[in-house]
Structure 1
Amino acid sequence: MAYPYGELDTLVPAYATTIHKSQGSEYPAVVIPLAMQHWTMLARNLLYTGVTRGKRLVVLIGQRKAIGIAVRGGNMRPRWTKLREWLAR
């Protein structure tokens, strides 16, 4: 798309970052790509973190199957912590 010189001030730079690096931040708009090719990243907690970064607009782009796996938490692994032992002390 071509912009006339007089409209160049209406363009706003866009940046990309990872969900991991965005934790604790908030953005006006967030676009989250979800694809089966990256099935190891289809985790509910990552999707939740990504969605909650968007202040006004969140767009999910991807395959229905990938979004379904992420929503259901199909790739969740158990966390191995010693929290139970520490709390029992």
Structure 2
Amino acid sequence: MAEYNNRPNPDDRSDNVEKLQSKVFHTIQNMERAEESLAYTDSEEQKQAIEAKNERRRESIDAFRSELKDEAAYQRNNQDNQYK
């Protein structure tokens, strides 16, 4: 039987800022596309669903931006500590 090494992967936060920026960008794109689709939607039910989803997207964007600030601060602090 093979012996397994149960060590967790190291915490690599080096690209979190870029990943979060990408998520914000793509979420905004999805919101804009959904808004455009409203013009072609006849069903009131579908319109409400799109509007509700976009509201959840706005909340996600706020959360992404908050996390983005935290990650940027972490990276700044980490860089400052490297040069001490």
* Both structures adopt the same fold (TM-score exceeding 0.5): no
TM-score normalised to structure 1 length: 0.26
Structure showing greater relative contact order (alpha-carbon pairs closer than 8 Å, 6 or more residues apart):
2
Richer in strand (by share)? 1
Q: Which protein is richer in helix relative to its size? A: 2
Bigger radius of gyration among the two: 2
TM-score (norm 2): 0.27
